[in-house]
Amino acid sequence: MSQFFNINVDNPQHRLIVQTADILRGGGVIAYPTDSGYALGCMIGHGDAQARIRQIRGVDDKHLFTLVCRNLSELGNYAIVSNSQFRLLKANTPGPYTFILNATREVPRKLQHPKRNTVGLRVPQHAIVQAILEAIDAPLLSMTLYFPDDDSSLCEAWEIREKLEHNVDLVIDAGHCVAGATSVINLTDDAPVLIREGLGDLAPFGLS
């Protein structure tokens, strides 16, 4: 049965953040709130946790994870970013975006797109996520929390707990979570390419 933490979104309790980090380091899977709905997360290097997330989502190993990073400095460890791309990212992170970028050698091959050697990365604007990332001192592997038979993501922790209490190790409740998905933008070409419209404003990328 999963644990259930009520964490204050404005001032995350240090004790609960430390316990969350311990769960992740131990190979656990968490359901956590972001600035674009709930997500499932685990740490790099825990194949069993990744398999559990794919099973919950009902996807195969061709469905790629997103790397959730603290800031642009950390993102730069995993993505090859040009000066123009950096300026775009700096102006629009943190926020509800997922960016497709060329992967560095720090990204395990199985986490990259098999044909294009790209990776999806994001820097969320959410105090709890940032506190968790700081505590584990590493990025999270993440997938948006959609259930195969649902039309939209869930926004309430108690609903997620009811569905996943035997499938995840922790559900974090921070109150009502914003519904929606990130805007997914491919920055590997000369001009940004919209992959999916979501909560992130498209105007800064010339895509609106």
pLDDT at 26: 97
What local confidence, expressed as pLDDT, does residue 152 receive? 65
For residues 12 and 128, the answer to whether their CB atoms sit within 8 Å is yes
pLDDT at residue 80 tops 90: yes
pLDDT at 137: 97
Which has the higher per-residue pLDDT, 127 or 178? Answer: 127
In the chain, what are the domain boundaries? 3-205
pLDDT of residue 140 exceeding 70: yes
Question: What is the gyration radius of the CA atoms in the chain, in angstroms?
Answer: 16
Q: What pTM did the predictor assign?
A: 0.93
> Other CB atoms closer than 10 Å to residue 35's CB: what's the count?
21
Query: Residue 151's pLDDT is what?
Result: 65
What kind of fold does domain 3-205 have according to CATH? Answer: DHBP synthase (3.90.870)
Q: Report pLDDT for 61.
A: 86
Give the pLDDT band (50/70/90) at residue 113.
Answer: confident
Would you state the structure tokens that stand for residue 99, as one six-digit string?
């960016």
Tens digits of residue pLDDT in 7-42: 999 999 999 999 999 999 999 999 999 999 899 999
Of the chain, the end-to-end C-alpha distance in Å amounts to 44
